[in-house]
Amino acid sequence: MKKIPIGISSCLLGQNVRFDGGHKRDSYIVGTLGEYFDFHAICPEVAIGLGTPRPTIHLVKIADSIRCVGIKEPENDVTERLRDYAAELRPIHADLCGYIVKKDSPSCGMARVKVFTGGQPHRNGVGIYTEEMMRNNPLMPVEEEGRLGDAGLRENFIQRVYVLHRWKQMLEKGLTVSGLTAFHARHKLIIMSHGDYRDMGKLIAAATKEDLAVVAGQYILLLMTVLKTVVNRANHVNVLQHIQGYLKKELTAGDKAELCEMIERYRRGEIPLIVPLTLLKHHFRKAPDPYIENSYYMSPYPQELSLINEL
């Protein structure tokens, strides 16, 4: 499979672009995700001419505005240069299916970046470049490398990347009502695990050739917003039980009891999600169902990533 294009802060790939001339190479990103993602490395601070090494910058609240200025040279305000650079890269960002940024960075951080007010730091800021990029690209999954250490957040980010990638592949083939309907059907169980899919279903059901582009835009924005919610065990249990219903005529009493036990043990946190999913796949190999077979829920991304093993 062709690698998926992903933006990334250059330092995370081992490039010496940090303010101190160093890097923050992340072995999981480079070694594991690099097998599936085609990384497009960007360092906005270097790109706007700050150099390496360089005087450090930070976020400061001035009146009602957040500015990115030099720590030792507060007159060195690079706020607009960072915003302009993000705007300049908008065509490049539009081709990406996700972006991994450097945590705590005044240019790249996604959340909880220090903002100084009256000399006191408050972790409520967003890096200037990343803030502008996210504003311009509301569909794009964005995550910080530090948060990828959390199994739930990591799975959530990668799942969203693959969903957006499949969406773009569908658009490349040409948008049709039937294509949009099929896309929704294949992702319906994934959506169910994150929240309510009914609003999206109503959008799809009412789509016509005349308003298809508008409906598709509303649909994907709603979908990518819903998918930001990290799935909990209760929601996964709900979907697993729903899937089990497609086997009610095929399972023996013993098979049903075993499957119910595995789902219950998953609910209690005794086993990972991969266990009941593997058992379900086993039963569907013996009794195939077209809807379940076409659904991405049980295989949302390459199994080699082993994300489900940790949920």
Predicted local confidence at residue 174, as pLDDT: 96
Predicted local confidence at residue 173, as pLDDT: 96
The pTM of the full predicted model, rounded to 2 decimals, is 0.95
Residue 270 pLDDT grade (very low, low, confident, very high; cuts 50, 70, 90): very high
Share of the chain above pLDDT 90, in %: 93
Average pLDDT rounded to a whole number, residues 49-55: 95
Contact in structure between 85 and 94 (CB atoms under 8 Å): no
- Rounded to whole angstroms, the Cα distance separating 88 from 90 reads 6
Expressed in angstroms, the distance from the first to the final Cα of the chain is 25
Asked whether the predicted pLDDT for residue 288 surpasses 90, the reply is: yes
- Rounded to whole angstroms, the Cα distance separating 246 from 289 reads 8
Q: Exposure of 6 by Cβ count < 10 A (0-12 exposed, 13-18 middle, 19+ buried)?
A: buried
Predicted local confidence at residue 307, as pLDDT: 83
Asked whether the predicted pLDDT for residue 1 surpasses 80, the reply is: no
Predicted local confidence at residue 196, as pLDDT: 86
- Rounded to whole angstroms, the Cα distance separating 176 from 182 reads 10
- Rounded to whole angstroms, the Cα distance separating 162 from 238 reads 23
Predicted local confidence at residue 232, as pLDDT: 94
Average pLDDT rounded to a whole number, residues 170-185: 96
Predicted local confidence at residue 306, as pLDDT: 78
- Rounded to whole angstroms, the Cα distance separating 27 from 13 reads 8
Residue 156 pLDDT grade (very low, low, confident, very high; cuts 50, 70, 90): very high
pLDDT in tens, 82-112: 999 999 999 999 999 999 999 999 999 999 9
Q: Kindly report the length of the chain.
A: 311
Share of the chain above pLDDT 70, in %: 100
Predicted local confidence at residue 4, as pLDDT: 98
3-state DSSP helix/strand/coil percent for the chain, to nearest 5?
50, 15, 35
Predicted local confidence at residue 310, as pLDDT: 82
Residue 294 pLDDT grade (very low, low, confident, very high; cuts 50, 70, 90): very high
**Domain positions in the chain:** 4-149, 164-311
Average pLDDT, the chain: 95
Contact in structure between 108 and 90 (CB atoms under 8 Å): no
Predicted local confidence at residue 309, as pLDDT: 80
- Rounded to whole angstroms, the Cα distance separating 50 from 48 reads 6
